Amino acid sequence: MRTFDLSPLYRSTVGFDRLFSLLDQVGGVDAGTYPPYNIERTGENAYRITVAVAGFTDQDLSIDVKEGTLSIRGERKSDETGKSGEVLYQGIAARAFERRFQLADHVEVRGASLANGLLHVDLVREVPEKLKPRSIAITSGTAAQAAPKVIDAKVAA
């Protein structure tokens, strides 16, 4: 029997509360390791994705949301004008990347910021009022029967 490692599914989704929703998205999950990222829960309905994008500027990055998928792309523009000398060893990755995250229903991107080589994308889940659970008042049987409602107030002749 074959076993499947589903851990890439857990770290590439934001806002899902049901395992079956994760399994439905198995085809669209990117299990690559570059660039590294974190997914944090910052509040009851707030999330933050932090992507390590050292060497990229805000002009090199693009963030798109389409059909419940958040895409973060990075491509460095070659800047050879200010360089002098020859690179003997290049350990800092500067390759292009695309990282995708499946967003759960009602999760929206609130903003993004780039500081100290980290791209922060803030997400919020806002469930519409009609889908939120609500409480229904319960009346006791004796109180409901004690005061009958008048439907027609006409006097019989």
* 144: pLDDT strictly greater than 60: no
Q: What H or E segment, with its residue span, contains residue 48?
A: strand 46-52
**Per residue in 123-143, pLDDT tens?**
998 887 787 788 888 888 765
**Per residue in 27-73, pLDDT tens?**
444 446 888 999 998 888 899 999 999 888 889 999 999 988 999 99
Grade residue 15 by pLDDT with cuts at 50, 70 and 90.
low
Distance CA 30, CA 127 (A): 27
pLDDT of residue 7: 59
pLDDT of residue 8: 62
pTM: predicted TM-score of the whole model, two decimal places: 0.61
Bond prior to 36 in cis (omega within 30° of 0)? no
Q: Which has the closest alpha carbon to 101: 59, 46, 50?
A: 50
- Which pair of structure tokens corresponds to residue 141? 């049987």
- Per-domain boundaries in the chain: 7-128
**Per residue in 76-86, pLDDT tens?**
876 655 566 78
CATH number belonging to the domain at 7-128, selected among 3.40.50.720, 3.30.2130.10, 2.60.40.790, 2.40.30.110: 2.60.40.790
Q: What is the DSSP string of 78-140?
A: P--TT--S--S---S----EEEEEEEPTTEEEEEEEEETTEEEEEEEE---GGGS--------
Distance CA 45, CA 16 (A): 11
